[in-house]
Structure 1
Amino acid sequence: MFSALRTALVNERSLSSIQSNILAGLTVGVIALPLSMALAIASGVPPQHGLYTAIVAGIVIALTGGSKVNISGPTAAFVVVLLPIVQQYGIGGLLVSGFLAGIILVLLGLARLGRLIEIVPYPVTVGFTAGIGVVIATFQIKDFLGLNIQSLDGHYIDKLWLILQSVPSINWQETMIGSLSLGVLILWPRLQSRIPGHLVALLIGSVAAWLISQITSDFSVATIGSRFHYELNGITGSGIPPFLPGFEWPWNLPDAEGNSIGFSFSLLNTLLASAITIAILGSLESLLCAVVADGMSGKKHNPNDELIGQGIGNMVASLFGGIPATAAIARTAANVRAGGTSPLASVVHGLFILVAILSLSPVLAYIPMASMAALLLMVAWNMSEAKHFIRTLKIAPRDDILTLVTCFLLTVLFDMTIAVGVGMGLAAMLFIHRSIRLTENTKVESGRMNELELPSQISIYDINGPLFFGSAQKALKNITAITPEVRVIVLDMTEVTMVDMSAIVAMESIVANLAAKNVGLVISNLQPRIILKLRRAGVRTRPGRIRFARTMDEAIEKAKRMT
């Protein structure tokens, strides 16, 4: 734990480094402020919960994690997972799921599985992200066009059909504001300005909404202030509450019906699947972000410490009203480009958002929901990686295309819990299938080998690749099918890198089969640790029947003496 902080305290103590990280933190804070609100709204909760996440999780994860430059907070990857939880279990169920996910992330880090998570195949990742992008974009059409829809419930097809049916209720004012904001988001990067484009888009959208309200009396544009309300000491306010997040056990918060969700093992059992999905997505997103950040900054992260930090951050954030968080690639990249080199930048980013809550809440209430929808449409487009999705469809092998399309469709049509489970299963099956192809069993023709005469009573088989439950039977199945004149089998296992229990059982079967035929066996060039495994399993040297050899020359000589 704390590896990034320890390294930074040793190497990043100069005044120039501190100044650089403070400026980077302020830059990222400006970017994260509207994004955190927008992602919270997309997840089905009031915008302040996204800000609480950026503050608490952003600071805690930076101080306890394994990456010096990662910026953590709410991300678009979680939207598809969190929205169904909120709709079914309310904010209380969401925060309990985040707390459980934090525990799982800590356990993954303690089990040192950080490197293992990095091997998820590219088609699985692209399928997830493209599917999430499509779902997020679809859900923003309602606010972007100002459609008269009370709530979007049901499965994706049901929601899409409801949106299509509601198109006649389009609000021209909100559509104009959303289109203006989206146009700024698309065109602003061409100016190569250091001012974040989404900040300009929201400002222009807010000004446009104010101008429309001055021009026409028929003003009906939804804003953060008109959509969300809060209550403090019996006083009701609009928009974002201008006070610090308070400590509250997640199970004391309301469920979807407004009642306290309560603490019970049945609740934990119900939310466990969602928590596992959040933990898997969070680990993938954070470690992928750390790898990208390493390439940009030239630094190295500790993946296991990063998982532990992500877990602690999610646990603590859920106690202060924060939704699940992970490292955000866009914000991390902005941090690196702005000169961030230590966790100080993320701490400053969190403190900036905290100050913004206390001082800018009345101003933030005027942001139009159509502008927030435009921002999320841009986030969805960037996340979908359409170019990579199409390129994979064009050039990838058939197995990869099947995996990509399956993960994409499951994410869009069902939910991320199912998509993650099936996607990880497909990844494992794809890995096993391709590993099996690498393991081969080749019979060496009789004649001369290593300058030694090879009599017909000796058969040599060259085994290549790992022997595990998927490949052992394939590699060893032909060895016992021998002609009557063969008296000794030699197995050249120079390129066998591992042997699991299935392979050991297969080897025991071969030994017993050959012994019944009075045929000897010589195992050559097997690594000492694997020989030890076989001997522990009972595959031991027996007089006249089984031998181990360190080289092929030695193996052939022993085989000749056994004929």
Structure 2
Amino acid sequence: MNQSVSYRSGRSKRDSAKRSSAPTFVELFTPKIVTVFREGYGLGDLRSDIVAGLTVAIVALPLSMAIAIASGTTPDRGLYTAIVGGFLVSLFGGSRFQIGGPAGAFIVLVAATVDRHGIDGLILATLMSGLFLVAAGFLRLGTYIKFIPYPVTIGFTAGIAVIIFASQVKDLFGITLAGKEPGELIPKIETLAGAIGTTNLSAVAVSVMTIAIIVGLRKWRPNWPGMLIAVAVGALAVWVFGLPVETIGTRFGGIPESLPAPAVPMWSLEKIHAVFPDALAFTLLGAIESLLSAVVADGMSGRRHRSNCELVGQGIANIGSALFGGICVTGTIARTATNVRSGARGPIAGMLHSAFLLLFVLIAAPLASFIPLATLAAVLAVVAWNMAAKHEFATLVRSSWGDAAVLLATFLLTIFRDLTQGIVVGFALGSILFIHRMAQIAEIEKHVPLAVEDESDLREDRTRYDTSMARDTDVTVYRITGAFFFGAASTIGAVLDGLLTDRKALIIDFTEVPFLDSTAANVIGRAAAKAHKRKMRVYLTGTSPGVRRELFKQGARPPFVEYDADIERAYAKFKGRAALAAATS
């Protein structure tokens, strides 16, 4: 039976029906590992998860240490975070494939917190952030994270990438500073430029070699663990040739060979009050980053995560990480994507990734002393380059003045002020821009029921379609009504995911869509690309010039979609092609 779905803002009987059939508390907060075992988990699934867990651990090993060092802590704290936090994220989270651990996005916030409050303050803020995330999950605030506009996420991600790269310049070039390296970007650049004469050519050589190995293997041997190989080769080169560069051993004395005993961080009311803003910043970024990572996993796997359960799992993971001396835990997009691509079947893969990292600490910790800091800095430089979302950034700058303003405000505030201000101001600008656009297109129209007795009751620009389409098992008709913007994008995206199943054609009617923003256009573009991979034809009908222009910018263009004036023409075109294919087969 065909589906015809209409999205409308405001209250309706359909909204009441949805509320009455809303998921129960148990359904919302049941960890995905329980769901996986209910569906059946066999030996073949375990073998796949072992391979995926080992693959992700190989990627996470150098990253965890590099991120911890860049955050102003010691490499062992990054490993504790990945081991304890990563295990708890997979055990209690709402995503099948999420990999938790230290993330590059937190480098700026963690380093600033260490600067202001020391390691004890950082661990206390991490613990408090965990409690806040658990509360946010049970209050079902994860539902509202989807309202963060697309330009804001691209803006702060690109800003973080710039800051990460700037923080690694010192170790990339082996520069020696007389005093402490400034945290702010401009003073940091000025200080590094003033000390450029202390550049260590051996460190530069190691950095260049590391980047060349990672980039080369990614191009010619994409299935090989490029980062781990680069780190191993860098350590071997320093040891064999006796290169005068800093290593984990010379700066930190190596890493411990076991996990520390869990302990509650030192606290007082004054200390809690002092780190409260930092804990809130950790909570905000942790919620956004983890749910973005879960959405990426959904797009790659075709599954749907439980956002509020994921927040609870992230909160528990941050509490556990703090108790073992770790730093902030969140979902990590690169490691989660690696997990999916490696064939993971469920959360067991994430738990095994933590177990493999623990084995490294227990067995091979002394080897970490030989890892040069220039190599880890090079790893993070590559991570920053990949994080920058260069194509998306350029697309948004060209798309419209409004999206460009939101993007650039978020990006520049993230770089020159702080991440929290960037997100808050970007979201506020996005909301004001939306209100402005809605004010421009606001109109009053007569309600048109689905069944009309008089042809004149229909608006002239509203497309009617033959009811025979509703009985066609090969075609799905989807009509979007109302402003299609970032607030509605998640809902419509979920519906589209459900429609891209066994049908041969999808017709989406935009006749009643007066406005579409970049976030919504990106949803349609991704859905069209997914349908194209499944050999499913997608027709977009009734698009106004402005709507079509935005869709084109975000990738919804031939050969992924075809545009037609109305539904009936698109339907006739598809049936004609289907008949021709049947006649020639």
Supply the distance in 2 between the matched residues of 1:66 and 1:450 (Cα, whole angstroms).
49
Secondary structure in structure 1 of the residue aligned to 2:406: helix
Among 170, 190, 215, which residue is 1:161 paired with? 190
Supply the distance in 2 between the matched residues of 1:433 and 1:109 (Cα, whole angstroms).
32
| CA shift for structure 1 position 319 | 0.9
User: Matches of residues 9-408 of structure 1 in structure 2 within 5 Å?
Assistant: 9-149=37-177, 150-213=179-242, 219-228=243-252, 238-250=253-265, 252=266, 262-264=267-269, 266-394=270-398, 396-408=399-411
Supply the distance in 1 between the matched residues of 2:425 and 2:121 (Cα, whole angstroms).
24
Supply the distance in 1 between the matched residues of 2:441 and 2:90 (Cα, whole angstroms).
41
Q: Structure 1 stretches of 5 or more lacking a match?
A: 214-218, 229-237, 253-261, 444-448, 453-463, 467-494, 496-563
Among 422, 426, 429, which residue is 2:425 paired with? 422
2:10 maps to 1:7? no
Is the 2:117–2:275 Cα contact (8 Å) retained in structure 1? no
Query: Mean alpha-carbon deviation: is it higher for 63-72 or for 97-106?
Result: 97-106
| 1:139-188 residue CA offsets vs partner (Å, 9 max, x unmatched) | 10100100012421242211111011111110011111111101111211
| 1:257-308 residue CA offsets vs partner (Å, 9 max, x unmatched) | xxxxx422x3223222222221111111111111111121122211110111
| CA shift for structure 1 position 431 | 3.4
Which letter does structure 2 place at the counterpart of 1:307? L
Is the 1:12–1:18 Cα contact (8 Å) retained in structure 2? no
Supply the distance in 2 between the matched residues of 1:381 and 1:12 (Cα, whole angstroms).
40
Supply the distance in 2 between the matched residues of 1:366 and 1:387 (Cα, whole angstroms).
37
Which letter does structure 1 place at the counterpart of 2:231? L
| CA shift for structure 1 position 41 | 0.6
| CA shift for structure 1 position 427 | 3.1
| CA shift for structure 1 position 425 | 2.3
Is the 1:277–1:420 Cα contact (8 Å) retained in structure 2? no
| 1:502-550 residue CA offsets vs partner (Å, 9 max, x unmatched) | xxxxxxxxxxxxxxxxxxxxxxxxxxxxxxxxxxxxxxxxxxxxxxxxx
| 1:49-106 residue CA offsets vs partner (Å, 9 max, x unmatched) | 1100101111111111100111010011111111111111111111111112112211
Which letter does structure 2 place at the counterpart of 1:101? S
| CA shift for structure 1 position 199 | 0.8
Which letter does structure 2 place at the counterpart of 1:314? N
| 1:18-76 residue CA offsets vs partner (Å, 9 max, x unmatched) | 11111211111111111100010111100011100101111111111100111010011
Q: Which has the larger radius of gyration?
A: 1
Name the count of aligned residue pairs.
Answer: 426
- Aligned pair in 2 of structure 1 residues 10, 208: CA closer, same or farther (>3 Å)? same
Is the 1:77–1:129 Cα contact (8 Å) retained in structure 2? yes
Supply the distance in 2 between the matched residues of 1:417 and 1:273 (Cα, whole angstroms).
10
Q: TM-score, normalised by structure 2?
A: 0.70
- Aligned pair in 2 of structure 1 residues 169, 3: CA closer, same or farther (>3 Å)? same
Supply the distance in 2 between the matched residues of 1:413 and 1:363 (Cα, whole angstroms).
38
Is the 1:113–1:304 Cα contact (8 Å) retained in structure 2? yes
User: Matches of residues 499-518 of structure 1 in structure 2 within 5 Å?
Assistant: none
| CA shift for structure 1 position 193 | 4.1
Which letter does structure 2 place at the counterpart of 1:226? T
State the identity as a percent. 40
**Deviating 4+ runs (over 4 angstroms):** 449-452
- Aligned pair in 2 of structure 1 residues 388, 358: CA closer, same or farther (>3 Å)? same
| 1:407-426 residue CA offsets vs partner (Å, 9 max, x unmatched) | 11111111113223322322
Supply the distance in 2 between the matched residues of 1:199 and 1:465 (Cα, whole angstroms).
50
Q: Corresponding residue for 1:411?
A: 414
Supply the distance in 2 between the matched residues of 1:429 and 1:267 (Cα, whole angstroms).
37
- Aligned pair in 2 of structure 1 residues 435, 370: CA closer, same or farther (>3 Å)? same
- Aligned pair in 2 of structure 1 residues 401, 6: CA closer, same or farther (>3 Å)? same
| CA shift for structure 1 position 309 | 0.7
Supply the distance in 1 between the matched residues of 2:300 and 2:360 (Cα, whole angstroms).
29
- Aligned pair in 2 of structure 1 residues 367, 107: CA closer, same or farther (>3 Å)? same
Which letter does structure 2 place at the counterpart of 1:209? V
Is the 1:205–1:367 Cα contact (8 Å) retained in structure 2? yes
